[in-house]
Amino acid sequence: QVQLQESGPGLVKPSQTLSLTCTVSGGSISSGSYYWSWIRQPAGKGLEWIGRIYTSGSTNYNPSLKSRVTISVDTSKNQFSLKLSSVTAADTAVYYCARASVYYDILTGYGAGLDYWGQGTLVTVSS
Amino acid sequence: DIQMTQSPSSLSASVGDRVTITCRASQGISNYLAWFQQKPGKAPKSLIYAASSLQSGVPSKFSGSGSGTDFTLTISSLQPEDFATYYCQQYNSYPPTFGGGTKVEIK
């Protein structure tokens, strides 16, 4: 059973860089066809997709955050990371890491659906 | 971005009821749609992908249908553990976007 666990500072000052790590257990981050993703949720609000990194290392980012986001992977530690620069109060949220598994549908082709999620970590941006 | 609109935004139902939640995409997304369940203070749980395929371990009382722009999630017989907020998500195009959620409450 795959498990994901977020870690990182719970408080970040405005204009600084938010850095989070997701540790994957129960499977190798570098094997299989998976996208390793970050999603966030402000308190009392809905979910926002931040970006993802594929097993091969290729990345996709939400255009609304692209200029500030970097997602990377450390296969030696079975971890992937999120960096979000120049944060403001609007970046205060619970941040989730998650896995998306690639599948093949005979009618529509390839897709990647989120299957496993971390428990989430609250990051507050405040001075 | 593709807008995902869920309806209703909330509903009250009794144990044993059949519940249907609707999700509409602002443009066609084929069947690239997922459903998630979230309980207060917890991470979302993945229920369905590809519009109608159950994630491993998800009970068969959950079912999904639809293609193109209109999708539904049905819970065949609501149980106490099913009271939660449900979200749909399209992953046909970037960025993947979520619906605003449907809160299922106890009547």
pLDDT tens digits for range A85-120: 999 999 999 999 999 999 998 888 899 999 999 999
Closest Cα of chain B to A127: distance in Å? 25
Find out whether B67 and B32 touch, Cβ atoms under 8 Å. Answer: no
Closest partner residue to A46 among B49, B94, B100, by Cβ? B100
Find out whether A52 and A100 touch, Cβ atoms under 8 Å. Answer: yes
Q: If you measure CA to CA, which chain A residue comes closest to B33?
A: A113
Q: What is the pLDDT of residue A31?
A: 84
Average the pLDDT over B66-71 and give the result.
Answer: 97
Whether A38 has its CB under 8 Å from any CB of chain B: the answer is no
Here the tokens at position B16 are 């044993």
The count of CB pairs under 8 A between chains A and B is 65
Q: What is the pLDDT of residue B81?
A: 95
Closest partner residue to B46 among A49, A60, A115, by Cβ? A115
Q: What is the pLDDT of residue A52?
A: 97
Whether the per-residue pLDDT at A66 is higher than 90: the answer is yes
CA-to-CA distance for B20 and B1, rounded, in angstroms? 26
Q: What is the pLDDT of residue A19?
A: 98
In sequence order, the 6+-apart residues with CB closer than 8 A to the CB of A37 are A49, A50, A51, A52, A97, A98, A99, A100, A114
Residues on chain B touching A60 (C-beta within 8 angstroms): 94
Residues on chain A touching B99 (C-beta within 8 angstroms): 46
DSSP B33-83: EEEEEE-TTS--EEEEETTTEEPTT--TTEEEEEETTEEEEEESS--GGG-
Whether A115 has its CB under 8 Å from any CB of chain B: the answer is yes
Residues 16-75 on B with a CB inside 8 Å of A are 30-32, 34, 36, 42-46, 49-50, 53, 55-56
Yes or no, beta carbons of B44 and A47 under 8 Å apart: yes
